[in-house]
């Protein structure tokens, strides 16, 4: 792959995913952000790290805060409502392309 090629993601923002590898294995959460250039995703409530933050204004508090760090996209799996963590397939309905569960075939 080229140095600046961006990965095509089957996972979208707001999808519910389960972490399948790493320190948070088994945790589920919503995808908050997708970092295409780095091939990573940020999952709500997972991979929490402590980060030193500078005070920006009078109301804004500085100090050490806990934030979600990015996880490599290969370490997350989308969750189907029926059958749990699954892979994603596609179905073409005329000119419309929909994501479907590879286990049960239900639309995701």
CATH topology of domain 16-81: SH3 type barrels. (2.30.30)
* Long-range pairs for 79-87: beta carbons < 8 A, 24 or more residues apart: 79/16, 79/17, 79/18, 79/28, 80/104, 80/106, 80/108, 81/106, 82/106, 84/18, 85/18, 85/20
Domain ranges of the chain: 16-81
Determine the length of the chain: 108
pLDDT at 4: 62
Q: What is the pLDDT of residues 78-99, one digit of tens each?
A: 999 888 889 999 999 888 989 9
Q: What is the pLDDT of residues 2-41, one digit of tens each?
A: 556 667 788 889 889 999 998 999 999 999 999 998 999 9
* Long-range pairs for 42-46: beta carbons < 8 A, 24 or more residues apart: 42/68, 42/69, 42/70, 42/71, 43/17, 43/19, 43/68, 43/71, 43/76, 44/68, 46/19, 46/71
């Amino acid at each position: 792959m080229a140095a600046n090629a961006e990965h095509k993601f089957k996972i979208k923002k707001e999808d519910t995913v389960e972490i399948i590898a790493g320190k948070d294995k088994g945790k589920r959460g919503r995808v908050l952000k997708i970092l295409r250039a780095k091939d990573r995703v940020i999952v709500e409530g997972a991979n929490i790290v402590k980060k030193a933050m500078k005070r920006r204004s009078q109301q804004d508090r500085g100090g050490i805060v806990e934030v979600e760090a990015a996880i490599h996209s290969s370490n997350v799996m989308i969750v189907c409502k029926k059958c749990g963590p699954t892979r994603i397939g596609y179905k073409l309905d005329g000119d419309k392309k929909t994501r479907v569960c590879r286990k049960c075939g239900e639309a995701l």
